[in-house]
Structure 1
Amino acid sequence: MTTSNSAAPDARSSGEDAPPQGGNAPAGQRPGAGPQNSYPPLVGGQRLLGTIALSAAVFMNVLDTSIANVSLPAISGDLGVSTSQGTWVITSFAVANAISLPLTGWLTQRFGQVRLFLSSVLLFIVASWLCGMAPNLGSLILFRVMQGLVAGPMIPLSQTLMLGSYPKEKSSMALALWAMTTLVAPVAGPLLGGWISDNYSWPWIFYINVPVGLLSAWITWSIYRRRESPTRKLPIDTIGLVLLVVWVGSLQILLDKGKELDWFASSTIVGLAVVAFVAFVFFLIWELTDAHPVVDLRLFRGRNFTVGSVTLAVAYGVFFGNVVLLPLWLQTQMGYTATDAGLVTAPVGLLAIVLTPVVGRLMSKTDPRLLVTASFLVFSTVSFMRSGFTPQSDIGTLMIPTLVQGAGMAAFFVPLLSLAMSGQPPEKIASAAGLTNFLRITAGAFGTSISTTLWEDRGAMHHANLVEHINDGSQAAGQTLDMLGRTGLSHDQALAQLNGIIGNQSMTMSALDIFYVSGVIFLILIVMVWAARPRRGGGAVDAGGAH
């Protein structure tokens, strides 16, 4: 992660000297030698175009975390895999994105934030095109990993460049514009993904990134190419990075393939578990003793950081797992089209967009624990509302909890990040924000795998329990078979139809179980968040802190 001071003040640019935009370098300063915030703010049309270009890149990036959710059945069906295997399309992107985040600070100081941002956008375009061209699941996952890896620097650097475009007294406006983009994308993602899947084909959910990304890159280069940050060579924790990739990757593959390979009855799963555990232990030891760790685990010595970051990770994992599960259930069990599933899940950002500025004003005078408590109460209520769904629930009933959930989102990310940053010295803010975001995104990937696996496992359990009641002595089963027989079905056809009804009911019961447990988890997290002791003015969320 990186802040607006991406490089140390004494760093010297290794690139060519270039005057700031407009040719007005601060008096007495060698052009291009100072940090990014030494450049004068942009004005007029340039600031407007710069804001649009940076927001478009953020929109494209965040959109790709939600647009595939409602398209999973279409992708899975077209590639000939199960929907549980199809979730790898989501988790592979999230894990790769999380792994690349800790490298953002090092890459920025090595190559400069403008060059790094443009490279991230252009490589994201290439990876998106390859995703659309993927002929099978394996290649699609490979290209999604590539997409996630190159996407890592885009979010924090977009905010850094945005802050540098505005005068200091308008920084809150810059952050508000940036945050609005990250809230609009989750609304548009399900709607756009559903509409594209129903009316065109799923590869277009990736192809649409190409024109958006090219436009963003062109405008950004036109405006920011003379506003490069200084660069310098820094050591990189190669061993720590390799260990990070190994343990996170092994654990994610274990979660994704566990059900398919019958969990620990499989030597592959056992091997992955051993590799993940050993790599994780060595990762902890190495990162706690290395002089330049890729992930600064010493931050966990602080109570506020530990409580804030862990609470955020767990809450986001539960939240994102439900975000993926809901459209899957709607399409596979309720007969919804991708477009209709998108309509049900899209309203989650509407109240968030409206209430986020209000929460921003409250942050300066309200204990963040109170805001988080209110958020988790909303999330818990929404989860319990969903646990009362039935196969007969209409679209209006299904949309109400999603709409209400937006109120919780408004008071979710920023207060928890503020809590985690509370009391952090300025030199630790970037590392703290980077680690917090790594935990959050990784938890989202794990939450997706865990929720979809539990959904199938508990669905099978409920199916077995319900089938036990289908026998000659069951009056309800007998009446149902008689009714089906009167429609012209044979006995075997009637039994198959009844089995389908039971399957639908069992998967619905399983989804409701997960929604209910999610509600309980959010209530537990309320207790956890009050273990923190926030300090006023202890820190601020850096670039990329709230997305």
Structure 2
Amino acid sequence: MSTATSPSAPTAPGSRPEPEVTPRRVIAYFALVFGMFMAILDIQIVSSSLSQIQAGLAAAPREISWVQTSYLIAEVIMIPLSGFLSRGLSTRVLFTISAAGFTLASVLCAMATSINQMIVFRALQGFIGGGMIPTAFAASYLIFPRRLQPPIMALVGLTVTLAPTVGPTVGGYLTELLNWRWLFLINVVPGIAATLLAWFLVDFDTPDYALLRRFDGLGLALMAVFLGSLEYVLEEGQANDWFEDHMIAAAAVVAMLGGIAFFLRAFTARTPIVDLSAFRDRNFAVGSLLTFVLGIGLYGLTYLYPVYLARVRQMNALEIGETVFVTGAFMFLTAPVVGMLSRKVDPRRIIGLGLAGFAVSSFLLRPITADWVFDELFWPQALRGVSLMCCMIPINVIALGTLPPERVKNASGLFNLMRNLGGAVGLAGINTMLQSRTDLHAARLAESVQWGSAVAQERLAAIAGSLSSVLGQGGAAETAALARVSAMVGRQALVMAFSDVFVTLGLIFAAMLPLALLVHRPKGEGGGGH
């Protein structure tokens, strides 16, 4: 394999020639992007079907969450490691191994007969599949010249944001129409196709086997301890009462000590497993912070909408999927427009517009009530979809497009890691805030629903009267009426908590607006070319 360049491509003195765009490379690139889509989709595809998987595997309620947690922990370790492996093995070999291993692990997940098998196979699926995400990201800057990177980033941005958005919808349909095992079997044919296309068509870089001989095993172990423990704390903390749980407290200590040891190793090792020097580039550092915050919004709101519709509106998976598909539709429509604008407009302005739109889309949800459904949620979702594209595409170009090609692979792993960590931190914070604010609002509402309240007494009497025809006069109707009022209080408290979370997310995105001013507009050489 060799890195071909076009003999006719115009070059400036002292600069690298532009990469040659050939049909072979375009097809290979689409195979990489599709593999990335599968790996990201599988994070969320099980989220709407956990109860069915739990029943099928006879799992305990506390065990079933590990179907997602094991995948995320393993994936978050592989993502930064993939930069080193891609340089050592080449994009062709690493992606082929990742796609083939992901496909095999998907089959194993579908064949699992116990929750323990499922957890192991999901971890394997996440670890191997995690190599596809930054590898496809980096290829965008190695295959295409600079003038084509904004529209290419539109495709990448759409893939990264659309996959987790439609994951619950796709999972709900597959489980309803077939069964939960098809959540994994659906990967088989596309996985085989991506594997074969990558092996036979990818040709744009060469392996550096000497790098593999300097593999830092200790650095990998420390990174795995650090990121694995951190992801465990973030994923399981809220459900286990955070540091009141001994396992969570112990994992937090391990994450802190592992993090200190990992960073010391990364800064002192001759060939670190992850090169952190990319953060010296201001565009990359600011872009990574912005993508961290974008991860909060991407994964946080992808989680919040279905939770509201399920817990407050009592919708099933199919109804939820049909309601939340608005965001994905508007992302799909907006991506090519933003890709074209990024070539003509200062990307900092587009990022600012996206952050402002994201904040407004969250503030629009402040007056949410228990009666909101598709119509009321349409415009906040539509604005969120547009804003995601306005943020994702130019942030990608600014963060990675100004780096030299030899640093893109490693930086791509770090960049994608920041987005995933943002999502994990965001989900942990959202769940914690949702629970604490629900408890607070429930306590305050309960103060106005005391026995001495005339309004409460009238409401109880009215409900008891409506139930008396079914339950008869006396204590049964009054008890049922009291239970119904209690449920109404709990639901209203939950809705008020949702409002608080949406406002908080809006404030976070509004606070990020000044960061757009700190980056330099990309110009000159970097990434893939001019």
Query: What is the TM-score of this pair, normalised by structure 2?
Result: 0.84
1:233 counterpart = 2:217? no
The equivalences for 1:248-287 within 5 A come to: 248-287=227-266
The equivalences for 1:35-434 within 5 A come to: 42-43=22-23, 50=28, 53-72=31-50, 74-75=52-53, 88-135=66-113, 137-158=115-136, 181-182=159-160, 185-186=163-164, 188-224=166-202, 229-234=206-211, 235-421=214-400, 424-434=403-413
State the shift of 1:47 in Å. Answer: 6.6
1:524 counterpart = 2:526? no
Show the counterpart of 1:534. 520
Partners of 2:519 and 2:151 in 1: CA distance: 29
Q: What is the percentage of aligned positions where both structures have the same residue?
A: 30
Partners of 2:125 and 2:347 in 1: CA distance: 34
State the shift of 1:412 in Å. Answer: 1.1
Partners of 2:512 and 2:157 in 1: CA distance: 25
Partners of 1:471 and 1:204 in 2: CA distance: 50
Residues 110-167 of structure 1, C-alpha deviation per residue, up to 9 Å, x if partnerless?
3333232121111111222233344555543433222221112213444666888889
Residue aligned with 1:65, SS: helix
Over 3 Å counting, the alpha-carbon distance change for 1:141 and 1:344 in structure 2 is farther
Letter in 1 for 2:267: L
1:468 counterpart = 2:454? no
Partners of 1:467 and 1:158 in 2: CA distance: 53
State the shift of 1:517 in Å. Answer: 0.4
Structure 2 segments unaligned to the other structure (5+ residues): 8-16
State the shift of 1:378 in Å. Answer: 1.0
Q: RMSD over aligned Cα, in angstroms?
A: 3.5
Letter in 1 for 2:91: Q
State the shift of 1:521 in Å. Answer: 0.5
Letter in 1 for 2:245: S
Equivalent in 457, 463, 480 of residue 459 of structure 2: 480
Deviates more, 1:247-256 or 1:156-165: 156-165
Query: What is the TM-score of this pair, normalised by structure 1?
Result: 0.82
State the shift of 1:233 in Å. Answer: 3.0
Deviates more, 1:98-107 or 1:156-165: 156-165
**2:233 and 2:248 in contact (8 A); partners too:** yes
Residues 468-504 of structure 1, C-alpha deviation per residue, up to 9 Å, x if partnerless?
3332112332223222212134222222222222222
Over 3 Å counting, the alpha-carbon distance change for 1:222 and 1:38 in structure 2 is farther
Partners of 2:74 and 2:487 in 1: CA distance: 38
State the shift of 1:407 in Å. Answer: 0.9
Residue aligned with 1:291, SS: coil
**2:95 and 2:198 in contact (8 A); partners too:** no
Partners of 1:193 and 1:310 in 2: CA distance: 31
Residue aligned with 1:386, SS: coil
Partners of 1:390 and 1:174 in 2: CA distance: 40
Letter in 1 for 2:102: F
Letter in 1 for 2:74: A
Residues 333-376 of structure 1, C-alpha deviation per residue, up to 9 Å, x if partnerless?
21111011112222213232233233223334433221111001
Deviates more, 1:157-166 or 1:228-237: 157-166
Partners of 1:273 and 1:304 in 2: CA distance: 31
Letter in 2 for 1:418: V
Partners of 2:364 and 2:151 in 1: CA distance: 36
**1:196 and 1:205 in contact (8 A); partners too:** yes
